[in-house]
Structure 1
Amino acid sequence: MRHICFSAFGRLLLTVAASLPLVARAQPAPTAITVDVAKPLGPMPPVWAYFGYDEPNYTYMPDGQKLLTELAALSPVPVYVRAHNLLTTGDGTAALKWGSTNAYTEDQKGRPVYDWTIVDRIFDAYVKRGMKPIAQIGFMPEAFSTHPVPYRHHWKPGDNYNDIYTGWAYPPKDYQKWSELVYQWVQHSVARYGAAEVKTWRWELWNEPNIGYWKGTPEEYNELYDYTEAAVHRALPAASLGGPETTGPGWDKAAAYLRGFLTHCVSGKNYATGRTGTRLDYISFHAKGAPKVVDGHVRMNMGTQFGDIEEGFKIVASFPTLRQLPIIIGENDPEGCAACGVQTNPENAYRNGTMYSSYTAAAYARLYELASQYKVNLEGAVSWSFEFENQPWFAGFRDLATNGVDKPVLNVFRMLGMMRGPRVAVASPTALSVADIRAQAQSQRADIGALAAADAHSATVLVWNYHNDALPAPPAEVALTLQGLATAKAQVQHYRIDNEHSNAYTAWQALGSPQQVSAAQRTSLGQAGQLAQLTAPASVSLQNGQTTLHFTLPRHGVSLLRLSW
């Protein structure tokens, strides 16, 4: 009888004991991230403070001006802005993938007519906000083009993308006249804004000459660069001019184009002077990811983008006399068509919500690691994202705001703008390496990582929970330990981007996704689009310069924790 009772009681104990590990297994161990403020890794230049767009005439429209003001405000340093079509012929009417300034025409006798009215309006909008142009010298004015007809395209989403490459993409009839146009533009800029201001700008030649944007040969691009360089530095010897803004160094032909241009600058015969080599002040190329729809959901591909970056860095590093020149990744994005919305490109559905913001945090944070690995001088990485006028609400364009309301991704740049001081050491076992990312590991498991910086009186940590697949998943429990802080007490501010915070998209959906938005709704959405704190600021005590902060981070959420003392 005792045996029977003991056996029954034993089975009960075993049942209870067996249930305990199940409960424990249902609550996974927190993701442990350690930041050592006492271990600086080197400077953390504001590579994120660069933005660009195809349609320059949006610059001075109401929503464009509002967004420029916000971009200028989020950064402690001047923000650089890059736009296409600054020399394109036309009446200034904006359209998707199009813009014009009518800067150059010719009279009936073929004499130059320069008109800087629209160019000045664009650059005035930048300069008065303390922003800096990346002044793109392009595209070809109609009067110069070797194939001017057709000149104006009327592309719309769903059309063949190659339809945009019309008469503005061809070489000039006369390289000397082209050179004089460039000289007149730089000289006019110096007269209007002053040499001290203009020498802080970046000038560049063209956009993506290795694809349809340039209908000439690589050698004709090199020739155009030589004549452009001579003109820019004749007008302002201290000006900074770069190129070639090629795209996709991860492609063999694109890599050859970039390498060929750099070789020309180092040792080629200069078309304008006949001497050897051409002055190059910085180097630029583009890097793009490759999202697609898999089993009914979006799957991103950051690995393709990092492949472009790594190959570009390798190419630059292979030139001993160029490897320390500044590098600007002229477009640094998850894919290649900002003006292609979700109606025609369902793979772009990532753009409205937090997937775009978490991707951006994870991608930009790794740029410092890659630049350090290849020992190159990365200065900037342009997010090709601005705003589109007179388009539906949340149409799925790659933009920072829709109808004047900020999207979640803009708040990542606000977070980055709050980080101060050099980059410091981070240990995160759940963060993937760049090699992992290139091997598509972000499609197998979450990438939960951090970027940290510190100065004498603050420490900031950017934390993301990213995955390549747009699928629901449990949140991550994070235990963030900061050590090496020279204080016994600090104030903690916790900023968050997720479905409930810093997210005008989910707020708009909660309203029923209206396309007709009332004034009160617009105000509410505008407030929802601002960077929000997860909790009220709080004071924490540190033991031996160390503290651990615990929080839950949803899939595709981003947190910025700021400790100040």
Structure 2
Amino acid sequence: MTASVFIAAAVAVPVAGASAAGSTSFTVDPARRGSTVTTLSNTLTSWAYRDDWTSAAEGQPSNYFATNYPSITTADLFSATGGGYTSKAETLTYLASNMTGGSVTALFQTSVEPASDLKFWVTTTQGDRQVTSVAESDTLIAGNAWTKRVYTLSAIPSGSTAFRIAFPTGGANAYNPQLGSVSITAATNITDTLDDWSKVSDHTKGLAFDTANAGVLGDTSRLMRTVKDQYTPAESITYRSTGMSAIQATALFSSSQENIDDLTFFASPDNATWTQLVNWTNVDSPINSGLWTKRVYSLSSLPSGTNFVRVTFPTGGLNSWNPQLAKVVVTGGSSYTDDLSDWGASYYHTSGLSFDTQNAAALGDASRAQRTNNYDGFPGATTTRDLFKNPQDRNTLTDYDFSSLITAVHNIIGQGLTPKIRLANVPMKFTAVPVVGAFGTNIRPPDDYDAYYAYIKAIADAMVAEFGIAQVKTWTWGMTPEIENSSWFEAADGTAASTETAFFRLYDYTVAALQASLGAANVKVGVHMMNQTDGLWNPADFIDHVASGTNYKTGATGTAINYIDFSYYEGSPGNTGQLETSAGGARSLAVSIERIRARALLDGLTGLTYGVAEGGIGFDQDSRFISNNILGSSYEGSFDALVFKKLNDLGIRDWSRWALNTEKIWGGVDGVSSHLDNLAQKMVGDARADVARSGSASDPSNIVDSMAGYNPATNKIHVMEFNHNPSPSASGAESVSLTVKNIAPASGSSVTVTKWVVDDTHANFWPTWSADRASHGVSNVTYLGWSPQSLTVPSLMTVQADKDYWYSRVPTYRSLAALSSTSTTVVPSGGQISLSDTVAQHGVVFYEISNATVVGSPTSTPTTLTDNLDNWYLANTHTAGLSFDTSNASALGDTSRAMRTTRTDPQSIDYRKLGATSATVTGLFGTDQETIADFTFFTSADGLTWSAYAGASHADSLINSGNWTKRVYSLAALPPGTNYLRVVFPTGGLNSWNPQLGQVTVTG
């Protein structure tokens, strides 16, 4: 089969929104090779190791990971060995939209023990918030043996969606305290002028705001459909408020073009069972010179117990923008009371609650909610991690019980994975006054570091006794997550100086204990920093300490370290959606790694590896937390492809995952993220091949990019193409052509090309689930504040009917999510093959070309990287204090230039080009204001060690009527072996915007 025939067969199915206005070409030259490709993700991070690797792992097939997730080779037991010990607090949850106040009545047996108060929380779109404005009123009852306490709640955090009551843990008896009644007061009315989604509890995805024609329609913002197809599910918007009594909706219809097709209305008590409302009335008035009709719907008597109202648009029609919803007013929700006679009024309760109907006369209440278990722990802790027979016995510090850890490790090894065990979360009984931080662990140092040392050594000794030193020496050891995060570790006085000193001591004692048990040569240990944002203290101080400080345990200079990991979270899709600086001062991925690696190299630590120990996408566009930081949509796929390329550009080892599928680990439906992990794994170990890019995307905001590798041992070439856009709502496909040159069949006359596609219509169940969710009425309420865009769907839903529906559809979703490939044979022509694709928005195409050997040599025809500084896509890294200036384009003859945002801090841009031989750099200088301060240049073979380049010449020309000077630097002879070029801005000067960088070309 000829290459031309294959091209026709390989073109992807056209995607709506594709444009022929632009196309991008990639030329892959496997004869030009560089660094070894590292993985996208080979580590699974497990927060609750007992759940993930003890009971949940039992009975799983031993080849589960090798079969399903071959990229995963390491299991990271996050906070595995200490720092939390408690029983679970029982909770009762109510729906409470826009709660303004309430009261809770509890009964305490104060003749037996003092009252241990209930706690109160509300769920908002910004997460859980504790209600702290609580007044108490006590009355003695039952012959003074019990106290009736009425809590009055006020100053409720705004934007509530649910109200939760938490029982205390411990106590003398499980039946004490008891919950007698709950009253909730919510906002009387909701008035929504449809300017944004802030007052809506849920909406389908095919809706958008129309702000055009405000003058003629008399409304600055209205809600409209984005599609009009009569065969698609009806679009709708949902409001939630306890005890709704009436609703009024204002809609605008283009009645001069087509007859009015009315909105429809539905009511529900629980967001599961819906009743259509047909008793509405309407009042019409003409607007826009009679071309449009304003219709005001009124539903004055909603069914008793209505907590949800849904307004549904018609389907079909001439235009998607007709009709439009202008305003919704919901009335009611003044008060609601639950007498705790059953669970009907509540939304959710934990399993350890039941009803007590005894002693009704004495207590003055026929039915109360109570706990079924009163087991106690340390207040505030959330997970049992401390490895002792009795974690509460402070008189005995050596009653170790490592059985749960041993069981977890057995299951990890049984899955063919390597353990990474986090130490240094200090057991509760090692601290006289433990303090439980935001993550449910003790954040205080040990009182006795020698007792802590003995604990860590005993853990290592037990592992050797169980598994043998040959096995244990292959493991990785770590410390508490995010070492400079005070929510994980903080000295008692809360100061940076005391806390970092305490952590240095903790690290030194931990490493010494491991080395004493395993032998120094058998210990691979490191730390996990925040680094993307600033913590309580500067992690550079830790790097200095392990490099040249005095070891607190041994007294020697320095402490062993093998790796440094850090956290990296993208703010949300579109913020920034491309691994650049996010809101709140967070550093870009490039700046994050450079910040710690540069300090380590400065301190002489040259053998470290670097990875992302936890990361992902933090929030959705509505500021809701994304569970496990993984989206279900195809956006996650192209984002992960961008991550994969950036990791390899920056020399980062891997990017750990919190979850692999919809059930997190075991037996769920695979998301696009796992497909990207598995595809990227095919490239791991390849020598990275040179890729030359030409052409342009049809949509300038699309990031159309590629990465390639070649493995001469297997005769395989791999190429990954992707079309990412920082905006999740972007919809433009891109035309991509690919040429692979300097290749020949290793045997016979042809190579085999295998192709995988991951996008909305390939290996992806999410679009179908999204449509199912809308048609079945699964609302955001079921997620209790978590993002409905999260991959781990079933673990988040709290409405049983929604869960049942999900599981009924899992076989269909699993079939849609299956990753498949197509293969064909191609006869190279002139030492190359050519392929073409239409890559969907947020789509990824992956090729494996097998039976391929390389002809030619690294002296092949040079290619040139040309960066016009319109964005950061072609730069390998850049410092944080740079931005783009697009003003004065005509005067300066350049539409976009890079400039400094500060005059004091050094700023630079790095480029990666294998075998770079020459470069040109165009700088623009405001010479009417100050003399030229030149750019400077550095070269590197590995991106780590840099040498100044002093051979640049330049040519000047006047621009902007002689007020500015364009200086073109020529770097005609870069040193042999140059793979990286750094362009450094001058510091100082009168203005941060002078000079500006207009273009960089690197040839090699």
- Could you say whether these structures have the same fold, taking a TM-score greater than 0.5 normalized by the shorter chain as the test? yes
What's the counterpart of residue 100 of structure 1?
384
Residue number in structure 2 paired with 1:524? 812
Q: Deviations over 1:59-104 (max 9, x none)?
A: 1354898699654445667711213231234379899995433313
Residue equivalent to 1:270: 551
Aligned to 2:445, the other structure's residue is in SS state coil
- Give the structure with the larger strand fraction: 2
Larger radius of gyration: 2
| Residue in structure 1 matched with residue 607 of structure 2 by the alignment | 324
> Are the structure 2 counterparts of residues 179 and 86 from structure 1 closer, same or farther at C-alpha, using a change threshold of 3 Å?
same
What CA distance in whole angstroms lies between the structure 1 residues aligned with 2:62 and 2:447? 36
419-428 vs 178-187, which deviates more? 419-428
Q: Which residue of 1 is the match for residue 570 of structure 2?
A: 289
User: Which of 635, 639, 644 is the equivalent residue of 1:364?
Assistant: 644
Partner of 2:711: 455
Aligned length: 491
| 2:757 counterpart of 1:496 | yes
Gaps of at least 5 residues in structure 1 are 1-24, 152-162, 372-377, 390-399, 433-442
Task: Name the SS for the 2:45 alignment partner.
Answer: strand
- Of 347-356 and 211-220, deviating more is 347-356
Alpha-carbon displacement from aligned partner over 1:200-233 (angstroms, at most 9, x marks no partner): 1110111112111112301100000010011000
User: Aligned partner of 1:124: which letter?
Assistant: H
* Distance 1:550-1:64 versus aligned 2 partners, 3 A rule: farther
Distance 1:138 1:365, change over 3 A: same
Shift in CA distance, 281/342, structure 1 to aligned 2, threshold 3 Å: same
C-alpha contact 2:79 2:480 (8 A) present in aligned 1: no
C-alpha contact (below 8 Å) 2:19/2:733 kept by paired residues: no
Residue by residue, what CA displacement relative to the aligned partner does 1:81-129 show, whole Å, maximum 9, x if unpaired? 2132312343798999954333133646324111112212221221111
The match for 2:597 is 313
Report which of the two has the higher share of helix. Answer: 1
Q: Give the CA deviation at 1:382.
A: 2.0
Show the counterpart of 1:300: 577
Q: How does 1:82-231 map to 2 (within 5 A)?
A: 82-88=76-82, 89-90=84-85, 99-104=383-388, 105=391, 107=393, 109-148=395-434, 151=436, 164-166=438-440, 168-211=442-485, 212-216=487-491, 217-231=499-513
CA shift, 1:471, in A, is 1.7
Indicate how the Cα distance of structure 1 residues 177 and 108 shifts in structure 2: closer, same or farther if over 3 A, else same. Answer: closer
Structure-1 residue corresponding to 2:830: 544
Report the equivalent of 1:484: 742
Conserved? CA contact 1:292–1:300, under 8 Å:
yes
TM-score w.r.t. structure 2 length?
0.45
Pick which of 223-232 and 73-82 moved more: 73-82
Mapped partners of 2:471, 2:559: distance in 1: 24
CA-to-partner distance for each residue in 1:133-191, whole Å, 9 max, x for gaps?
11100422111134325x5xxxxxxxxxxx62455121112111111111011111111
Verify the 8 A CA contact 1:466 1:557 in the aligned structure 2: yes
Query: Residue type matched to 2:387 in 1?
Result: A
1:46 equivalent among 27, 36, 39: 39
Correspondences of 1:397-546 after superposition (within 5 Å): 404-419=668-683, 421-429=686-694, 445-456=701-712, 457-487=715-745, 488-512=749-773, 515-517=803-805, 521-533=809-821, 536-546=822-832
Alpha-carbon contact 2:661-2:669 (below 8 Å) kept: no
**Residues 354 and 556 in structure 1, CA contact (< 8 A), matched pair in contact too:** yes
Residues 198/380 of structure 1: CA separation in 2 closer, same or farther (3 Å cut): farther
Partner of 1:160: none
Deviation at 1:39, TM superposition (A): 1.3
Quickly say closer, same or farther: Cα 1:362–1:516, change in 2 above 3 A: same
Give ranges in structure 2 of 5+ residues lacking alignment: 1-17, 91-127, 129-380, 492-498, 582-587, 775-801, 852-1004
**Quick one: distance in 2 between partners of 1:484 and 1:34?**
11
The amino acid across from 1:365 in the alignment is K
Residue number in structure 1 paired with 2:24 = 31
Distance change in 2, residues 1:94/1:323 (3 Å): farther
Q: Which amino acid aligns with 2:488?
A: Y
- Relative distance call for 1:349 and 1:52 in structure 2 (3 A) is closer
| 1:559 pairs with 2:559 | no
Distance across 2 between alignment mates of 1:545 and 1:146: 73
CA RMSD of aligned residues (A): 3.4
- Give me the whole-angstrom Cα distance separating, in 2, the residues matched to 1:558 and 1:424: 19
Give the TM-score taking structure 1 as reference length.
Answer: 0.78
CA distance in 1, matches of 2:384, 2:751: 52
Q: What amino acid sits opposite 1:188 in the alignment? A: A
The answer (yes or no) to whether the contact 2:40–2:680 under 8 Å persists in 1 is: no
Kept in 1, the 8 Å contact 2:386–2:428? The answer is: no
User: Cα offset for 1:284?
Assistant: 2.4
Letter of the 1:224 counterpart: L
Distance 1:445 1:192 in 2: 55
- Aligned equivalents of 1:94 and 1:51: distance in 2? 28
Q: Label 1:59 to 1:346 Cα distance change in 2 as closer, same or farther (>3 A).
A: closer
1:556 offset after TM fit, Å? 0.5
Distance in 1, matches of 2:74 and 2:815, equals 26
Counterparts of 2:423 and 2:28, CA distance in 1: 44
Deviation at 1:355, TM superposition (A): 1.0
Distance 1:314 1:66, change over 3 A: farther
Contact 1:282–1:325 (CA under 8 A) maintained in structure 2 = yes
When residues 130 and 347 of structure 1 are mapped into structure 2, their CA distance, relative to the original with a 3 A threshold, is closer
% same residue: 20
Conserved 8 A contact 1:288-1:308: no
Q: 1:185 to 1:349 in 2, by over 3 A?
A: closer
CA pair 167-136 structure 1, distance change in 2 beyond 3 A: closer
